[in-house]
Amino acid sequence: MFVVATAGHVDHGKSTLVRALTGMEPDRWAEERRRGLTIDLGFAWVELRPGVTVAFVDVPGHERFVPNMLAGVGPVPAAMFVVAADEGWMPQSAEHLAALHALEVRYGLCVVARADLADPEPARRQALAELAGTSLGTVEAVAVSATTGAGMTELRAALGRLLDQLPPPDLSAPVRLWIDRSFTIRGSGTVVTGTLAAGRLRVGDELEIASLGRTAGVRALQSLGAQVPEVDAVARVAVNLRGVERHQLRRGDALLTPQRFQATDVVDVRVHGDPVAALPANVMLHIGSASVPARTRPLGPDTTRLMLARLLPLRIGDRGLLRDPGRHHVSGGTTVLDVAPPRLTRRRAAALRAEVLAGLDGRADEHAELRRRGIVRRADLERMGVAVTMAPMAGDWLVEEAVLTRLRSRLPAIVADWRRDHAPEPGPPVDVVRQALRLPDRSLVHALLTPPLSVHAGRVVRTDQAALPAPIARAVEELRAELTANPFAAPPTERLTRLGLGPREVAAAVRAGALVRLADGVVLLPDGVRDAVAVLAELPQPFTVSEARQAMGTTRRVAVPLLELLDRQGATLRLPDDRRRMR
C-alpha cells in the first residue's frame, strides 16, 4: 500500500478529488459534510491498478485547521497538491507548501482542480513554479474536473507514476506509529489509527505507549477496512489495543517497538528556514502527528535547543517543523541532531555546544556519536536512532578508543596512590577505581584492566611484584631479612642508598607494593604496617605517640609518619589532645 496526503487551499477541491478517485467519503463528520468544509483528517483508499492500492490522508485547507493538516502530513512521504483553476495560488497554498518543504516531502503531484470553471493554465504555471523551489522540486501537473470527469484518467496514470518512484519502506525498522485518531468500538475497546511509515505490526505484539511508558497488546489489526493478522509499512492501519482506555491515548501519542525509543523533552535541532535569531521564544514543534509547544534556546545561527512541553519519542535525524501559530507562519523545518544533549550550565557551554552542533547533520553515525559521548550503552545509542555495529567492551558498554587509552593510562597511578595511603592493603576495591575514573559501571573497571593489573578478591591489584627489576627485588629481600627482628626499624637513608634503593628505586618498589613509604627516606615492609595495627591495639587506649613508639620499639622518625598513615587509613583516630585510639 502507498499513502499520499492531500494539500492545498481551502475549498480547492481536495476532498472532492479523493471522493472521485476512491468512491469513499473522506469527510467523516456530519458537520464537515453540512458545511462542505474539511475540519479534521479524512481517510479513503482505492486499488489504482491490480495490486497497487493507494490510501489518501485528506487534510483540511482552512487556516484554522493547519495543525490537523500537519498531523496528517507528518508521517506521510508523498503529497497530492491541489490548486483550483478558478482561484489560483492562495495563502494556504503557500502555507501548505511551506509545510511540505519544511518536512522535506520529496514526492508529489500537482492537480489543478475545478478545471471546468476556468482555464487551468495560469494556475498550473504558477503552482509548478512555486513547487519547483521546494523539496518537491519538478512534479507532474494534471488538470481535472471532478464534476465532468475530465482529466481523471490522466490523474490516475500520473498517480501511478508517482507511486512507482516512492522508496521502499524499511520493514526491519522498529515501529513508531504516530496516532492520528483514537476511538472506542463497542465490544472491542480502544482503537487507534495512524500511518505506519516503517516496520511491521502483528496481532499479539506488545507495543510501548510513548506517553504511558508501558506496553499494551495488539488485540486486532485492520487495514483498508479489513481484519488482518499483520501489516507491513507503508500502510494506514487501525490498531485495537488491549488494556488501555481511549482517553489515555490521543493524536500525537505513539505506539512503539518496546525499548527502541527514548522519550525526551530536550532536543537540539538544526532549523532549515528562518534564521534561529528570528525564532519566537515559544513555538509549536510539529513532528509525526504530534504538535508540542516548545521554548527555543538559540545556540548557533541555524541551531537551537528546544525545551518541549511533553516527552516525545524522538531520534536523531527526525524531521519536524516549527510554526508560529500566532502569525500562521512556518518558521522552518527541523532536523533532530541530539536527543540527549548535555546541560548548558558551565560558562561558555552554549558556545561550545553551538560548535559541536555545527558539525552534525542528523545522520546518526555510531563512531561520531561514541566520540562525542566517550562511554555509552549500546542500547541507549540504538534508542537514539544510531545503528550500532561495534562490539561492547563490557556488558552493553561502548567505550571510545581515545577514552579507553586515557582511562588505562590513569589506572597505575590510581592503584599506586591508593596503596601508598592504605598499605599494606594489596589494592583498591573495584568500586574505588570506578569512582576515581568516574565510570558508570563496575564492569568497565574489569574490562579496562590489562596486565599486570587484575582483579583479585574484589580489589584491583598488581600481579607483577615479582617482576620488579632484579636489583630492587634483591634489595627488598635484604631489607626483609633485616626487618624480621624489628619490623618497625626503618633503615636509615644511608643504608637504603647502600642497598641501591635511591628515591627512584624506592618509588618503583612502592608502586609494586613491595615497600611502604612513610616519609622521605623512611620505608617499611607492608607487613610492618599490619603488625603496627596489631601492636597498637594491645595498648591501653588512648595512647600517646611516645607510648606507641615504645611499644613498637622504634623512633619518632618512624612512629610519627606511621601513625599519620594509620590516621589516613582510618585505623587510628587522633584526639584533640594528640593522643590516639584504635577505631
Ligand X SMILES: Nc1nc2c(ncn2[C@@H]2O[C@H](COP(=O)(O)OP(=O)(O)OP(=O)(O)O)[C@@H](O)[C@H]2O)c(=O)[nH]1
What residues make contact with Mg ion under the rule CB under 5 A? Answer: 14-15, 38
CB-nearer residue toward ligand X: 63 or 431: 63
> 3, 4, 7, 11: which one contacts ligand X (CB under 6 A)?
11
CB-nearer residue toward ligand X: 117 or 203: 117
CB-nearer residue toward Mg ion: 15 or 303: 15
E strand spans, 415-557 = 453-456, 459-462, 516-519, 522-524
2-7 and 52-58: which strand pairing?
A: parallel
3-state secondary structure of 142: strand
78-84 and 2-7: which strand pairing?
A: parallel
Shortest separation between residue 34's beta carbon and ligand X, angstroms: 12
Q: Interaction with ligand X in 482-521: which residues (CB under 6 A)?
A: none
CB-nearer residue toward Mg ion: 14 or 200: 14
Shortest separation between residue 14's beta carbon and ligand X, angstroms: 3
> Which residue has the closest beta carbon to ligand X?
61
Distance of CA 323 to the CA centre of its chain: 24
* d(C-alpha 361, C-alpha 269), whole Å: 9
Shortest separation between residue 46's beta carbon and Mg ion, angstroms: 17
* d(C-alpha 123, C-alpha 88), whole Å: 5
From the list Mg ion, ligand X, none, partner contacted by residue 62 (C-beta under 5 to 8 A by kind)? ligand X
Q: Which residues pair with 334 in a beta bridge?
A: 271, 320
CB-nearer residue toward Mg ion: 56 or 488: 56
CB-nearer residue toward ligand X: 114 or 323: 114
From the list ligand X, Mg ion, none, partner contacted by residue 140 (C-beta under 5 to 8 A by kind)? none
CB-nearer residue toward Mg ion: 43 or 261: 43
Q: Interaction with ligand X in 61-100: which residues (CB under 6 A)?
A: 61-62
* d(C-alpha 158, C-alpha 164), whole Å: 10
* d(C-alpha 507, C-alpha 136), whole Å: 71
CB-nearer residue toward ligand X: 29 or 171: 29
Residues near ligand X (CB under 6 A), total: 21
Is 118 an interacting residue with respect to ligand X (CB under 6 A)?
no
- Number of Cβ within 10 Å of residue 481's Cβ equals 8
Shortest separation between residue 202's beta carbon and Mg ion, angstroms: 34
Per-residue CA distances from 109 to 106, 154, 203, 241, 490 (Å): 10, 12, 35, 36, 92
> 48, 117, 436, 473: which one contacts ligand X (CB under 6 A)?
117
* d(C-alpha 176, C-alpha 313), whole Å: 8
Tell me the HSE value of 394 on the side-chain side, using a 13 A CA sphere: 14
Is 412 an interacting residue with respect to ligand X (CB under 6 A)?
no
Shortest separation between residue 114's beta carbon and ligand X, angstroms: 4
Complete DSSP assignment for 354-376: HHHHHT--S---HHHHHHHHSEE
Is residue 490 within 8 A of residue 558, CB to CB? The reply is: yes
Nearest to 9 by CA among 138, 95, 115: 95
> 21, 53, 54, 60: which one contacts ligand X (CB under 6 A)?
60
Q: What is the DSSP letter of 65?
A: G
Shortest separation between residue 289's beta carbon and Mg ion, angstroms: 18
Q: What is the DSSP letter of 30?
A: H
Shortest separation between residue 16's beta carbon and ligand X, angstroms: 3
> 1, 4, 7, 15: which one contacts ligand X (CB under 6 A)?
15
> 114, 305, 323, 434: which one contacts ligand X (CB under 6 A)?
114
* d(C-alpha 162, C-alpha 155), whole Å: 10
Is 37 an interacting residue with respect to ligand X (CB under 6 A)?
yes
Is 579 an interacting residue with respect to ligand X (CB under 6 A)?
no
> 2, 5, 16, 304: which one contacts ligand X (CB under 6 A)?
16
From the list ligand X, Mg ion, none, partner contacted by residue 134 (C-beta under 5 to 8 A by kind)? none
Shortest separation between residue 96's beta carbon and Mg ion, angstroms: 12
Shortest separation between residue 14's beta carbon and Mg ion, angstroms: 5
- Provide the mask over 122-151, with x wherever binding to ligand X is found by CB under 6 A and - wherever it is not: -----------------------xxx----
Q: What is the DSSP letter of 59?
A: -
3-state secondary structure of 174: coil
Region for 185 from its dihedrals, namely left if φ exceeds 0, alpha if ψ lies in -120 to 50, beta otherwise: beta
CB-nearer residue toward Mg ion: 57 or 231: 57
Complete DSSP assignment for 242-277: SS--GGG--TT-EEE-TTS--EEEEEEEEEEES-GG
Q: What is the DSSP letter of 343?
A: P
From the list ligand X, Mg ion, none, partner contacted by residue 136 (C-beta under 5 to 8 A by kind)? none
> 1, 3, 5, 14: which one contacts ligand X (CB under 6 A)?
14
Chain residues in the site for ligand X (CB under 6 A): 8, 10-16, 36-38, 60-62, 113-114, 116-117, 145-147
